[in-house]
Structure 1
Amino acid sequence: MTSRTDDGLEGFGYRQQLDRSIGGFASFAAGISYISILTGTFQLFYFGWGSGGPAYVWSWPLVFLGQLMVALCFAELAGRYPVAGSVYNWAKRLGSATVSWMAGWTMLTASVVTIAAVALAYQITLPQIWSGFQVYGDGTGTYDSAANAVVLGGVLILFTTVVNAFGVRLMTRINSAGVVIELVAAVLLVVLLAVNLTNPPDLLLDTQGTGQGVPGGYLGAFLVAALASGYVMYGFDTASSLGEETRDPRRTAPRAILRAITASFVLGGGILVLGILAAPDPSDPALGSGTGGLQAIVLQSLGSGVGKAFLVSIVVAITVCCLAVHTAAIRVAFAMARDNNLPASRALARVHPRFRAPVVPAVVIGVLALAILLVNVRQPQIFTVVTSIAVAMIYIAYLLVTVPMLRARLRGDWPPPGAGWFSLGRWGLPVNVVAVLWGAAMATNLLWPRAAVYNATAPYHWYLRWGGVIAVAAILGGGLLLYRGYQRKRTGVLEAHRLAPEPDGLAGA
């Protein structure tokens, strides 16, 4: 019997340093708060409705099925390798060193951009609760909303930075409490919307003429509208990225991944369907506007008092979502840094002796997210560009795991010998194939340079319409040059994190 507890670290040559204090619910909460059904559904409902009408809601089950295939692959990996920076370390196990580094780099940069994108969601909800939250201008100026979004989002990012700097225990307490509030609010909202229905079920098939004049007709419009669902249902791998801080992670992480995405689908779908059917006036143009959306339906159908109470719960959901994204980004940075795979790796990989968490990455990532946020000041349309870039990068990072995993299956190298706590068995190959095809299709759909996504209204700029392609190409190309030209020569587990050999006589004890 070995003297060590193998929780996935020994196979990578790491020793345990982080605070292993996360339980089953906190692990589930980390995954579901990253997905954040209230944040995503309320933040992007207006975009889906405006692009595809009420019928856009059918993209929700489509996205769920595709992402479930990815989640099943990840659950299998999490049952064997529940380690920090999950995507980065999984790619290392399945692919080459270059593929692993690119997976980590892509996930890290995407997570930093996602923090900024989530923080911008405060602007969509807070001013509808109280006009005093519109601290910049009165909301009618060309740049009032964009600038105010930076102010509100900046406060949120400062909060998540401070919380994460104090370690995982504080983060999980706040996150778990926020998730409880979010789940209770989501269930209550489903019930209240269900008793306030005003529209027939066939409204769910209404396109409101959104396919007219669009290349491909309504299919083209639906592909754009489907991004509203695609923007939401990801981040479930966070449960495994916190694996080194989770008790019994080989059992806990796979369950947390699958429970998070399933609960998000059920509750989020209920809110969307019942919200559409409860809309007092489906022809109201505000439903397709960032100043109205699902928030307007809740306020109109449930009344101002009850409606604003639910909007407060949405603010809580946005807060813990941003916190979870920041937490996940820190773990990716830490995982890469302890392999000496980032500039200033020793500082980024240092674990605070009291908080038992990497503090420097929390601060650096917070500063970078604030810098990205500032781009929003005089660009009212930049939100969609920033969100699309972030989500597309995450889909690409997922592909850098599912593609090598598929190659390993075809070669007969996966699953490796020995039992994992979760296995797809004979379904592994077809699930993996669908996961790869789905990821490639969604990444293409996200990056396609359509004006409807990247530059829907004036002023029209070529760099906005091509913003997704340009930014992703620059991030991937720049990352590859950084690694191949400089970083790969330095790669190797830092001594402070290297697993020390067992004393003589203990190895086989």
Structure 2
Amino acid sequence: MSTTPTLPAPATDQADAADLREFGYEPELRRGIGSYASFAAGFSFVSILTTVFQLFAFGFSFGGPAFFWTWPLVFAGQFMVALTFAELAARYPLSGCIYQWSRRLAGATVGWFAGWVMIIAQIATVAAAAIALQVVLPQIWSGFQLVGGDPSLTSTSGATNAVLLGSILITITTIINVIGVRLMAIVNSTGVTLEIIGVVAVIGLLLFHAERGPGVVFDTGGTGTGLAYVGPFLVSALMAAYVVVGFDSAGELSEETRDPRHTAPRTILRALAAAGIGGGLMLLVALMAAPSLTDGRLATEGLPYVLTSRLGETGGRILLVDVAIAVAVCTLAIQTAGSRMIFSMARDGVLPFSAALARVPARTGTPVLPAIVVGAGAIAVLLVNIGQAALFTAITSVCIVMLYIAYALVTVPLLARRLKGWPGGEEGVSTERGGRLFTLGRFGIAVNVLAVVYGIGMILNLGWPRQEVYDPAGAHWYLHYFSLLFVGGAILAGALVYSRYRARTRSLHLTLPVVAPGEPA
């Protein structure tokens, strides 16, 4: 009887494994992600080709062409957040990064709630991404309308078909996640490459068909002038706020990334920068190339209307195929990030069924059950869309509020720690490649303050109970206040779960790793 010898792990993997053990964790996840795949994880979560197509009409309907300026403002605010995340990614290269960073900065209780809020937000965001297939596929070919004849998301047949298409997509992404991180990385990287090609194509083709100059972005479209425009502008800013999230996914996959202290900080920033520049240019050229700014179609049909009217049915459909690919890899990336968050908390024993959720099969080196839980939860959220389209829209809107809250549970404690001297004692500490850890240096406090101010301001803007956002049809009183009700309910449910695991959570070993021996406690 012969046996196949086990090949020794590469030196870099051994070093990464030893680094992980400094945090008290045994390496279980398979390291199969390189620099580009790490970048792709963050870029595909943002997925400008998916979300700008979905939400362009929303922003334009409230703010007119001048809503364009919400994009650079939101991008600048989120880039401040990303800079602080990059510092943390270099020092704590752990899966479930929002949970892990928060609990090391603010203690076990705050960290637990950051992770809980993030899990709920990610499950709802998977559903929101998957349902975008209904906006795209029936426009490519009517055969994708499997139920009834009306593809509108607000119709009974359209809503049912959206749930069916979304559920099929989530099932496929779950299978990919279960098979392993290498397949996920290959699929995701390929999809992101095609998405980037599509973004460049959209920008180039629409610029060629431009009817007006870039000065169009100073036109409010009759939505108000001076101080009267502040209200519409703030509402239209929700479009950009919905899009520019998820860049932290590169950090979520740190334990599966080679040289994570070097790679993750850079890919977090690159993913956000690429999405910010690409998305801003798409908005600008769409406004420049739109056949009309006043016929009402931009406010109802959005970017697909611009593409099909300028590029014809064939050209528009080719680009819509690329959008469908972007929707698929976006769904895959969000589900992957969500499963790592659940795994990270479960291995600390602070979630129900932690033992099962933390199990990682040696054959695949990937957390299987968390991926299934995220997929099943997202499909359950999708089912709300049947007969309750307004409720589904409210849920997907509020999930972005939850993401911003989770981010604030990192940036606020980080600022408090920074004022006490964080980070410190890093002399001689380097990345896996011998370079310095990413640091903001003397700009750290200023950047962190801007990140906190932006984050709190956007939470208030996103969560403000506006009827035109959460209940435009005036269907149900509770939808008007849905953001407050949902966030309150999520925190209450979290408190009930936390009460069972309080002792375990508080007993976690929170000593900071050896990477910064002089760091203040």
Tell me the TM-score normalized by structure 1: 0.92
SS in 1 for 2:419: helix
Aligned partner (choices 270, 275, 278) of residue 281 of structure 2:
270
Q: Please tell me whether the aligned partners of residues 85 and 335 of structure 1 are also in contact (alpha carbons under 8 angstroms).
A: yes
Deviation digits for residues 247-288 of structure 1 (CA, Å, limit 9, x no counterpart): 111110011000000000111111110011100122232221
- Is 2:67 aligned against 1:85? no
Distance 1:434 1:108 in 2: 26
Structure 2 equivalent of residue 471 of structure 1: 486
User: What is the rounded CA distance, in whole Å, between the counterparts of 1:385 and 1:353 in structure 2?
Assistant: 40
SS in 2 for 1:60: helix
Q: Which of 192, 208, 212 does residue 221 from structure 2 map onto?
A: 208
Distance in 2 between the 1:79 and 1:350 partners? 26
Aligned partner of 1:329: which letter?
G
Residue correspondences, number: 487
What is the Cα deviation at residue 306 of structure 1?
0.9
Give the corresponding residue for 2:495.
Answer: 480
The CA deviation at 1:37 is: 1.1
Q: In structure 1, what residue type is equivalent to 2:205?
A: L
In the alignment, the residues of structure 2 paired with residue 113 and residue 415 of structure 1 have an alpha-carbon distance, to the nearest angstrom, of: 38
State the partner residue of 1:126: 137
* Structure 2 residue 440 is the aligned partner of structure 1 residue 424: yes
Please report how far the alpha carbon of residue 350 of structure 1 lies from its aligned counterpart in structure 2 after TM superposition. 0.2
Q: Which residue of 2 aligns with 1:154?
A: 167
SS in structure 2 at match of 1:9 = helix
1:166 matched to which residue of 2?
Answer: 179
Asked if the contact 1:112/1:365 (under 8 Å) is kept, the reply is: yes
| Corresponding letter in the other structure for 1:183 | I
In structure 2, the partner of 1:397 is: 406
- Correspondence for 2:254: 243
What is the identity, as a one-letter code, of the residue corresponding to 1:489?
Answer: A
- 1:467 counterpart letter in structure 2: F
3-state secondary structure, aligned to 1:226: helix
Cα displacement (A) at 1:334: 0.3
The reply to whether residue 407 of structure 1 matches residue 416 of structure 2 is yes
User: Could you say what secondary structure the match of 1:262 adopts?
Assistant: helix
Residues 126 and 147 of structure 1: CA distance in aligned 2, closer, same or farther (over 3 Å)? same
Could you tell me which residue of structure 1 aligns to residue 190 of structure 2? 177
Q: Which amino acid aligns with 1:464?
A: L
> 1:358-369 maps to which residues of 2 (within 5 A)?
358-369=367-378
1:332 aligns with 2:345: no
In structure 1, C-alpha distance between the alignment counterparts of 2:293 and 2:164, rounded to whole Å: 32
Residue 503 (structure 1) aligns with: none
* Matches of 1:311 and 1:84, distance apart in 2: 34
Task: Say whether the 8 Å CA contact 1:9–1:81 is kept in structure 2.
Answer: no
Is the 2:109–2:506 Cα contact (8 Å) retained in structure 1? no
> What's the CA shift for 1:199?
2.0
Kindly provide the CA deviation profile for residues 442-474 of structure 1, in whole angstroms up to 9, marking residues without a partner as x. Answer: 11111111011101124x211211111111111
Gaps (5+ residues) in structure 2? 1-13, 430-435, 509-521
Contact kept in structure 2, 1:7 and 1:248, CA below 8 Å:
no
1:444 aligns with 2:460: yes
SS of the residue corresponding to residue 234 of structure 1 reads: coil
Listed as ranges, the matches of 1:193-232 within 5 Å are 193-211=206-224, 217-232=228-243
Residue 489 of structure 1 pairs with residue 503 of structure 2: yes
Q: 1:56 aligns with which of 67, 77, 80?
A: 67
The equivalent residue for 1:94 is 105
- What is the CA–CA distance in structure 2 between the aligned matches of 1:206 and 1:349, rounded to whole Å? 53
Residue 73, structure 1, aligned to residue 84, structure 2:
yes
What code does the residue aligned with 1:135 have?
L
Asked whether the equivalents of residues 125 and 315 of structure 1 are also in contact (C-alpha less than 8 Å), the reply is yes
8 Å contact 1:143–1:379 — kept in the other structure? no
Q: Aligned match of 1:381 in 380, 390, 410? A: 390
Residue pair 1:8, 1:80 contacting (<8 A) in 2 also = no
CA contact (8 A) 1:409 1:415 kept: no
Q: Which amino acid aligns with 2:239?
A: A
Question: What is the Cα deviation at residue 481 of structure 1?
Answer: 3.0
CA-to-partner distance for each residue in 1:115-173, whole Å, 9 max, x for gaps? Answer: 01111111111122122222222217842322222111111111111111111011001
Residue 239 of structure 1 aligns with an amino acid whose one-letter code is: A
Tell me, yes or no, if the aligned pair for 1:384 and 1:453 is still in contact at 8 Å.
Answer: no
Taking the aligned partners of 1:487 and 1:456, their CA distance within structure 2 comes to 40
Alignment RMSD: 1.9
Distance 1:383 1:403 in 2: 30
Q: Work out whether residues 94 and 251 of structure 2, in 8 Å CA contact, stay in contact via their aligned partners in 1.
A: yes
- Shifted more, 440-449 versus 323-332: the winner is 440-449
- Partner SS, residue 147 of structure 2: coil
How far apart are the structure 1 equivalents of 2:422 and 2:211? Answer: 55
Q: Could you list the per-position Cα deviations for residues 62-94 of structure 1 after superposition, in whole angstroms to 9, with x for gaps in the alignment?
A: 000000000000000011111100101111211
SS, match of residue 381 in structure 1: helix
Equivalent pair of 1:55/1:205 in contact (CA under 8 Å): yes
Aligned CA distance change for structure 1 residues 204 and 221 (closer, same or farther; 3 Å): same
Residue of structure 1 equivalent to 2:513: none
Moved over 6 A (4+): none
Letter in 2 for 1:88: Y
**Does the 8 Å CA contact 1:46/1:294 hold for their aligned counterparts?**
yes
Does the CA contact (< 8 Å) of 1:339 and 1:493 recur in 2? no
Q: 3-state SS of the aligned residue for 2:91?
A: coil
SS in 2 for 1:252: helix
Distance 1:353 1:492 in 2: 30
Query: Structure 2 matches for 1:261-340, cutoff 5 A?
Result: 261-289=272-300, 292-340=301-349
1:103-118 alignment runs, 5 A limit:
103-118=114-129
- Identical counterparts, % of pairs: 49
CA displacement, residues 163-207 of structure 1 (integer Å, 9 cap, x when unaligned): 111110110010000000000111111111111101233322222
* 8 Å contact from structure 1 (residues 13, 493) kept in 2: no
> Which whole-Å deviations, capped at 9, do the CAs of 1:187-240 have from their partners, x for residues lacking one?
11111111110123332222222249xx97321111111110000111111101
